[in-house]
């Protein structure tokens, strides 16, 4: 389709980014004085353009944990009519290229653990690793994506300049610790968790937004059930390493770190 993906560098482009951000989420966009300052102090902004018109973007800024600098990838969005083109992954790859040229080795970001499409992109396609679970991280949000659910988030670390060994994941039903029953409800399996160094699998619904629209109580049930499992696995030294997509259900693969 002739889509160009490149770094955003001008005030005019940042103004256009604001309009795209508002069209996607409907709330107040990030102020230009903030994005412009971030750009001139190590931030990275990427735009996807079709015939000169921005249809997607990514905004990130520098972070520091007391030891090492890294890039904080804060927002990424694509206009609804262009979401089946794989632009999210392409924008992330361009972001990594620009970030590498600026001297970064790693970036972090957060995403909703119940959003299966984002999970598959972040872990399976990009090779990010889930290291942290943040319970109700942003508090209560009243936008279309988050309304009605606690804003639990995974934090992903992506070492994009490092060649990572990707081991083939062998799915084992005997290692599923949370599954989906015939009524689409989360169900703790009969398998007892043990810290044995082997992988564990955790089910999530393929479309939490569709479930939320027709049965908010079921969506909340999934939030609470997965919260308990994810926190337990991470507390025991496991990391989210991959996602297997299925028919109506996806599975996280957690491996011993």
Cβ-count burial of 250 within 10 angstroms (0-12 exposed, 13-18 middle, 19+ buried)?
Answer: buried
Q: Are 204 and 116 in contact (CB under 8 A)?
A: yes
Give the C-alpha separation, 119 to 54, whole Å. Answer: 25
What's the start-to-end Cα distance of the chain, in Å? Answer: 41
pLDDT of residue 109: 97
Please write the tens of the pLDDT for every residue from 148-157. Answer: 689 999 999 9
Residues 6+ apart with CB under 8 A from 116: 204, 205, 206, 207, 208, 243, 245, 250
Nearest to 74 by CA among 155, 183, 189: 155
SS3 43: coil
- The pLDDT > 70 percentage for the chain reads 95
Q: In this structure, how many other beta carbons lie within 10 angstroms of the beta carbon of residue 101?
A: 10
Which structure tokens are listed for 250? 């996806």
With a cut of 90, say whether residue 5 has pLDDT above it.
yes
**pLDDT digit string, tens, across residues 61-101:** 999 999 999 999 999 999 999 998 999 999 999 999 999 99
Tell how strand 200-205 and strand 176-180 pair up: parallel
Pairing of strands 200-205, 107-111: unpaired
What CA–CA distance (Å, rounded) separates 175 from 183? Answer: 21
| Residue 32 confidence (pLDDT) | 95
pLDDT score for 1: 65
Identify the CATH number of the domain defined by range 3-158.
3.40.630.30
Among 25-39, 133-147, 171-185, the least confident range: 133-147
CA–CA dist 180, 205 (Å, integer): 8
pLDDT tens, residue by residue, 31-48: 999 999 999 999 999 999
Look at residue 246 in the predicted model and tell me its pLDDT.
83
Q: Which of 130, 129, 114 is nearest to 227 (CA)?
A: 114
Tell me the sheet residues that pair with 205: 249
pLDDT for position 142: 65
pLDDT of residue 27: 81
In the predicted model, is pLDDT for residue 113 greater than 90?
yes
Weakest mean pLDDT among 3-17, 97-111, 160-174 = 160-174
- Domains of the chain, residue spans: 3-158, 173-256
Burial classification of residue 194, based on how many CB atoms lie within 10 Å of its CB (0-12 exposed, 13-18 middle, 19 or more buried): exposed
Would you call 179 helix, strand, or coil by DSSP? strand
- pLDDT tens-digit series, residues 211-251: 999 999 999 999 999 999 999 999 999 999 999 998 899 99
């Amino acid at each position: 389709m002739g889509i160009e993906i490149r770094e955003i560098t001008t005030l005019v482009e940042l103004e256009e980014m604001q309009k795209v951000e508002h069209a996607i989420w409907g709330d107040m966009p990030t102020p230009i004085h903030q994005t412009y300052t971030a750009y001139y102090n190590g931030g990275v902004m990427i735009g996807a353009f079709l015939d000169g018109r921005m249809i997607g973007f990514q905004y990130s800024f520098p972070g520091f944990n007391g030891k090492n600098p890294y890039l904080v990838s804060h927002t990424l969005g694509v206009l609804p009519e262009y979401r089946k083109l794989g632009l999210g992954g392409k924008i992330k790859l361009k972001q990594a290229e620009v970030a590498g040229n600026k001297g970064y080795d790693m970036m972090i970001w957060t995403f909703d653990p119940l959003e299966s499409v984002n999970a598959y992109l972040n872990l399976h396609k990009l090779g990010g690793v889930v290291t942290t679970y943040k319970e109700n991280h942003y508090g209560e949000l009243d936008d279309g994506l988050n309304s009605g659910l606690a804003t639990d988030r995974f934090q992903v670390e992506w070492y994009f300049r490092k060649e990572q060994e990707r081991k083939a994941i062998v799915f084992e039903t005997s290692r599923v610790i949370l599954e989906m029953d015939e009524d689409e409800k989360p169900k703790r399996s009969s398998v007892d968790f043990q810290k044995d160094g082997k992988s564990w699998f955790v089910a999530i619904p393929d479309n939490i937004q569709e479930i939320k629209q027709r049965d908010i109580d079921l969506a909340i049930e999934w939030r609470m059930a997965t919260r308990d499992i994810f926190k337990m696995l991470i507390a025991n030294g496991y990391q989210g390493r991959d996602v297997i997509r299925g028919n109506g259900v996806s599975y996280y693969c957690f491996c011993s770190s």
